Structure 1
Amino acid sequence: MTDQRLDRGKQWLEQLLSLSGIATTVDTQQPAGASATNYWLTIDPSPLTPTQKELLVGVEGATIDAMQYMANASLNIHQEADLQAGYTIELDGYRHQREIALRAIADEAAERVRATGTEVALKPMSSAERRQMHTFFDSDPSYSDLATYSRGQEPDRRLVIKLAQPPSGEEI
């Protein structure tokens, strides 16, 4: 039995690419350990020219982020809760490489916060990348002494890392 959400995502992205004049296919997968409603839509890079790949990723990932946002918004609108899903669009290892870079940024910022005791505001990033950074800090035990929040307005919204509040020990 195929997953209707996965099929819907694949068809949507293949149609978007076709309407954009880009002839390629989309591979689908649900990463091991991922949420049951989290799907990856991977664009096959083999028939694409370097220029097409650059255009699909965009400057600092702006195009691929926009496609991913559109996929998540349009594929989930008017869907019952059990038919909603989260979609990640991948092309030529971009998301994997970006995750490595974001982890390095998180590690460096964590070191600065711990060394100085003051909060660190990162450069503006997309909502998807801010959400990914929040998840790093929330789920990785090595960051348990730190907290994150977002500050500012788009397109200048920034992730801020600070020391977590120590337990007060005082009773109210």
Structure 2
Amino acid sequence: MTTQPDAETRDSTSRLEEEGEIAADYLEELLDIADLDGDIDIDVDHGRAAVEIVSEDPADRSLRRLAGRDGEVLDALQELTRLAVQAKTGERSRLMLDVAGYRADRRTALAAVARDAVARVKETGEPVALEPMNPFERKVVHDAVAEAGLVSDSDGVEPQRHVVVRPA
């Protein structure tokens, strides 16, 4: 027996797919203006529209400029894309944008940072404060810490907001 998704789940998925399509149209125009080559991948991931600009040529690093140093250009581009989606739908978007695998690579690096902090906390029993991070980065660390069975909090005020890992 197969179960069909309920109407609310279908509506939510269809709304997120629409967000992805609107974002893709916006980003394609941006790529044209910037004279950059890239394909747009659209997905729904963890209850969010997920859009990624990928290069047709894996050796081409030109799209990395859209990530910027430390991802600040990507964060700004994500916010502009969310605003473009909101302008079309009338609803706030939680869309996640990635460019040339920047966030995926960053997620891997942050998981390693979280594992190191977890190991230090388990070894010493003392809390460990990490470097300041943006909201995306803090979420990745919080998830990794929770998966390891410890607890974490965000402390401080932007732009110095950071994660503190504590014993469970």
TM-score, length basis structure 2: 0.75
List runs of 5+ in structure 2 lacking aligned partners: 1-13
Alpha-carbon offset, residue 100 of structure 1: 1.1
> Matched residues, percent identical?
27
Query: CA, structure 1 residues 69+118, in 2 after alignment: closer, same or farther (shift >3 Å)?
Result: farther
Structure 1 partner of 2:81: 71
- Select the structure that is richer in helix: 2
- For residue 151 of structure 1, the aligned residue among 141, 144, 155 is 155
Q: Is the 8 A contact 1:65 1:128 kept in 2?
A: no
RMSD, aligned α-carbons: 2.7
Alpha-carbon offset, residue 46 of structure 1: 2.5
Q: Is the 8 A contact 2:36 2:63 kept in 1?
A: no
List runs of 5+ in structure 1 lacking aligned partners: 165-172
- Name the SS for the 1:156 alignment partner: coil
Question: Cα deviations across residues 122-168 of structure 1 (Å, max 9, x unaligned)?
Answer: 11111111122223334x2xx22x2111112222211111113xxxx
TM-score, length basis structure 1: 0.74
Instruction: Tell me how many residue pairs correspond in the alignment.
Output: 153
Question: Cα deviations across residues 36-62 of structure 1 (Å, max 9, x unaligned)?
Answer: x42221213126953x32311211222
Q: Is the 8 A contact 2:39 2:56 kept in 1?
A: no
Alpha-carbon offset, residue 64 of structure 1: 1.4
- Name the SS for the 1:22 alignment partner: coil
